[in-house]
Amino acid sequence: MAPNQKAEKQHDLLPYKGKIERFIEPCLLLLLAEKPAHGYELIEPLSQFDFEPNVDPGQIYRTLRRMEKHGFVVSNWETGKAGPARRRYQLTAQGEGFLTSWIKTLTKRVQMIEKLLQRYDQIMER
Amino acid sequence: MAPNQKAEKQHDLLPYKGKIERFIEPCLLLLLAEKPAHGYELIEPLSQFDFEPNVDPGQIYRTLRRMEKHGFVVSNWETGKAGPARRRYQLTAQGEGFLTSWIKTLTKRVQMIEKLLQRYDQIMER
DNA sequence: AATAGGTATATGAAGTTTACACATAGATGT
DNA sequence: ACATCTATGTGTAAACTTCATATACCTATT
């Protein structure tokens, strides 16, 4: 096929972020494994995982609800306390299993990246 | 806000892949840093990076053209050899710089994941 | 010389995921 | 009464991936 200069619709390439798809899921599950919490309360601890750009609260709530639909967490409304009602989430046994599979996936990802990094080091040595 | 059961349009959560956004870019750049090549020739070596599902050839060609537009690689048509004409790609100095920034990004990603993995190990110890 | 298969490059379109803005609402302080 | 903080959520466009498909040249075979 001959060279061709059609317009390109896709992304402009920069900025590249190298984000990990749905990384928020294992982060949320881990935090809930440590202790039950409501969404708002998870914003700050989540930010410790260095999300860039900053963690989107909307995404937290959506992800929690989604995971609840799949039985990975359960929630109950907590009134009584000060301020508006909060939905308190707890990890389920299923959720633990899901976290475990996430851990396996992430371990593989690290290996993938390490492989590339090592190969990069090799060509840099020359 | 009260509990609410609206239909959910978003993804069904499973399967989760934890793919790294545009991971194909640093892989291609690294392979080209090792030695110039045409797209078709890169399919097999790319698969060594354990893409799941398998590397999409279409994505390879698109990504190479895109990176060329940004000056990270240059190509020239190679006839003469057996088979149809091939577009031979070479890394540019700019491309090396882009690869370097990718390496930094990926190093950060590894750190993010390691942080999570360690924290997971901690709660598993109990 | 037709045709099948391999090599090589590329596009179309639908589905998934993220980013950012915005909406809702109760509680608290002035 | 009003603003502000806490808390939960939705709408939507842009970005990204996936899978299917198109094109075309070359080589070997019948």
SS3 category, A37: strand
Position B5 pLDDT exceeds 90: no
Q: What is the pLDDT of residue B12?
A: 60
Position A9 pLDDT exceeds 50: no
CA dihedral (B91, B94, B96, B101) positive or negative: negative
SS3 category, A78: strand
DSSP assignment letter at B8: -
Confidence of residue A13 (pLDDT cuts 50, 70, 90): low
The number of angstroms, rounded, from the C-alpha of A77 to the middle of its chain's C-alpha atoms is 24
Contact list, B16 vs chain A (CB under 8 Å)? 21-22, 25, 101-102, 105
Q: At what angle do helices A93-125 and B93-125 cross, to 10 degrees?
A: 140
For residues B91 and B95, give the distance between their C-alpha atoms in angstroms, rounded to a whole number: 6
For chains A and B, CB pairs below 8 A equal 135
Contact between A102 and B16 using a beta-carbon 8 Å cutoff = yes
- Are the beta carbons of B21 and A18 closer than 8 angstroms? yes
For residues B36 and A92, give the distance between their C-alpha atoms in angstroms, rounded to a whole number: 51
For residues B126 and B122, give the distance between their C-alpha atoms in angstroms, rounded to a whole number: 7
Contact between A22 and B30 using a beta-carbon 8 Å cutoff = no
What is the tens place of the pLDDT at every residue in B55-112?
Answer: 999 999 999 999 999 999 999 998 877 789 999 999 999 999 999 999 999 999 999 9
Which residue in the set B107, B117, B123 is minimally distant from A117, CB to CB?
A: B107
Contact between A8 and B65 using a beta-carbon 8 Å cutoff = yes
**Which chain B residues 2-61 have CB under 7 A to strand D?**
3-4, 6, 9, 17, 19, 21-24, 51-53, 56-59
Element (H, E) at A88: strand A86-91
Contact list, B11 vs chain A (CB under 8 Å)? 66
Task: Tell the residue number behind the tokens 């997971």, with chain if given.
Answer: B120
Contact between A49 and B115 using a beta-carbon 8 Å cutoff = yes
A90 vs chain B: nearest CA distance in angstroms? 15
Which residues, in sequence order, are bridge partners of residue B49? none
Q: What would you report as the CA-atom Rg of chain A, rounded to the nearest whole angstrom? A: 20
A3 vs chain B: nearest CA distance in angstroms? 8
What is the tens place of the pLDDT at every residue in A64-107?
Answer: 999 999 999 999 999 877 889 999 999 999 999 999 999 999 99
Full-prediction pTM beyond 0.85?
yes
DSSP E strands, chain A: 37-38, 73-78, 86-91
For residues A41 and A88, give the distance between their C-alpha atoms in angstroms, rounded to a whole number: 10
Q: Tell me how far apart the terminal alpha carbons of chain A are, to the nearest angstrom.
A: 37
Which residues, in sequence order, are bridge partners of residue B87? B77
Tokens representing B15?
């399967």
